[in-house]
Structure 1
């Protein structure tokens, strides 16, 4: 999910890579906050629900017959799954994205920013059993909102932090109040940080050598800091965590052993962490 602008890279952010297409995510534009408009062409204006059910069943039957003659075809299998998912989504999506059904106190808790409303929708999705929710932060329709560091890092980042701070705090509090935080892992981060050195007058360049990602709930320690950068805040030097380690730890908290979980593709068994990664056990409660 993101308001008005898809994250840079678009499908690569939620695609399934070499996994079957059924595991890919679906992009939702929450900019308008209109329940019937968050997904383009969600509604069928020509057929009622019963007629659409018959149509979907017939299409699935034809596809399965074609699949049986081809023995195995991941694209056809993904298509069958996608059609069924699309049928179910057009009746469930408007309800889950309608935040007017929340109490005024809950909406006040989250705040009015687009990102905050996305946090509230994320809670509603988790509450209904959606297993993975990704919320990207764009602002004013700009897809890489946090890329303000080149010109005005102080003013730009302060504005961005203000836009998402209340919503994040509300999400964690709301999940905890509803008894969902212990079973929901919240991960907040980006792809790099900002260097301590100046880029021009008010900017900071990209820095992938040392930056912060935080996690909450899902069996991780609360109020715990792991790792540190050098004295300049430039490079991680203590308890360094590679992205493969982060992924291994996330998978571990989902009950999956990243060294045992494999998927055969193009002649070999692939791990989601490739041949790297270790679980950061010190952050686990």
Structure 2
């Protein structure tokens, strides 16, 4: 026995014993009553039936840094995903879903038979009429796939043969918060684990020095709708699977650096002692969240070296900045975050989530959407090009889109320079590319008004099931038991969209 090695553990045991001595009456009665009950049950059933194997130790979750045993369920196509979430609801009618008939129908009333009693938001529920408005922007077909793209997206238009447009997306949520929450967690109410947390829980991490789930939020976006940390939270999964937000500036992760005059050796000694305390607590109580706490402290220590390295942009050549756009030199902008996303997946971060707000355009849509596209189009296209030229697009999935679309009918004026569109959950457009997704196709179709899906509906749960499938996961089998029920990302729905897969 090494006396120096065991000293921290003996000290930790003494400290915990002191804590136990100070236990209050309520906790004492709770612990002893539960203990007596367990002993009685054990004498009746046999301890091995309660705790199989070693009767002294409850079984732990079969989980490690490498994910759950038995996953992936089959050979994956994707190793990483970059999700470019455009918060607010981009107008598919002004970007990708070209409806030439609307030019002739401009100003006419949307037929009641088309609306079919659809639920409306509070912004348009009291409208006396629903005049249709065509797009103020020109569309053109591009590439061998002949995909329609608005003049607002010239850089994306160059890459249509790499993209899979899904024009038949549909959701049941009509307001921002529940709609974004639904896309990220599979349920409109907060509290469920996010998609990135599910992937981290199921598959673990491929880089032990960085979190498997990292979040980037544009600092240069229009802050029209709030974003909440629960959108990248772990819900009821162990807390080490929550997304970690990287911020712009000298401290990408808050409280990661050492305090002034505090050296790395001091931090290591403190963490070793803290780990000993936590291990004693784990042996005493068997709470799996203690394991998560140990894991998080260790990850934070390793990130003190890995985060400054991965966020250092000084080695990027000028031609890379020129490709992503001049704003990519300004940390925290959408362009800089796209470049950062590429650097993170080069380090095998499994899930990188970008949020860019500002697409909620109830009025002055033409001017507002033009500014949004100017900030995002070039950098988005540059990310795809960059991934492809580095051989990363083969196993990196890229997803672009918002929480819903916009209506064909106008809010406010019918001026080509100043119309607006309300939220529209019945049909909208997303695109995907990379790992296992068919390039250069358009999947799904909407009616001539761009109001209803007429072919190949893709529900939110279908998209989630498909993303998990690309990672080699059967979405019905990745579950977690919580409060007596087995939960999953897709709840009780979802089908893999096989028509978009290679």
Equivalent position SS for 2:246: coil
Equivalent position SS for 2:251: coil
* More strand as a share of residues: 2
How many matched pairs? Answer: 273
Please, which of 227, 230, 234 is the counterpart of residue 12 of structure 1?
Answer: 230
Equivalent position SS for 2:428: coil
Does the aligned pair in 2 maintain the 1:188–1:214 contact within 8 Å? yes
For 1:130-279, what aligned pairs fall within 5 Å after superposition?
A: 130-137=349-356, 144-147=357-360, 149-201=361-413, 202-279=419-496
1:3 aligned onto 2:232: no
Residue 25 (structure 1) shift: 0.5
C-alpha separation between the residues in 2 aligned to 1:61 and 1:177?
A: 47
Equivalent position SS for 2:442: coil
More moved, 183-192 vs 76-85: 76-85
Aligned position for 2:339: 120
Equivalent position SS for 2:409: strand
Residue 3 (structure 1) shift: 3.0
Please, which of 10, 20, 23 is the counterpart of residue 241 of structure 2?
Answer: 23
Aligned position for 1:283: 500
Residue 50 (structure 1) shift: 2.0
Unaligned runs of 5+ in 1: 138-143
Does the aligned pair in 1 maintain the 2:218–2:354 contact within 8 Å? no
CA 46–10 in structure 1, closer or farther in 2 if over 3 Å, else same:
farther
Report which of the two structures shows the higher radius of gyration computed on alpha carbons.
2
Does the aligned pair in 2 maintain the 1:99–1:120 contact within 8 Å? no
Residue 218 (structure 1) shift: 1.2
Residue 238 (structure 1) shift: 1.2
Structural RMSD (CA): 1.6
Does the aligned pair in 1 maintain the 2:406–2:422 contact within 8 Å? yes
Residue 72 (structure 1) shift: 2.3
Aligned position for 2:251: 37
1:65 aligned onto 2:65: no
Equivalent position SS for 1:100: coil
C-alpha separation between the residues in 1 aligned to 2:227 and 2:340?
A: 23
TM-score calculated relative to the size of structure 1: 0.91
By relative contact order (CA 8 Å, sep 6+), the higher-ranking structure is 2
Unaligned runs of 5+ in 2: 1-215, 328-332, 414-418
More moved, 90-99 vs 5-14: 5-14
Residue 268 (structure 1) shift: 2.1
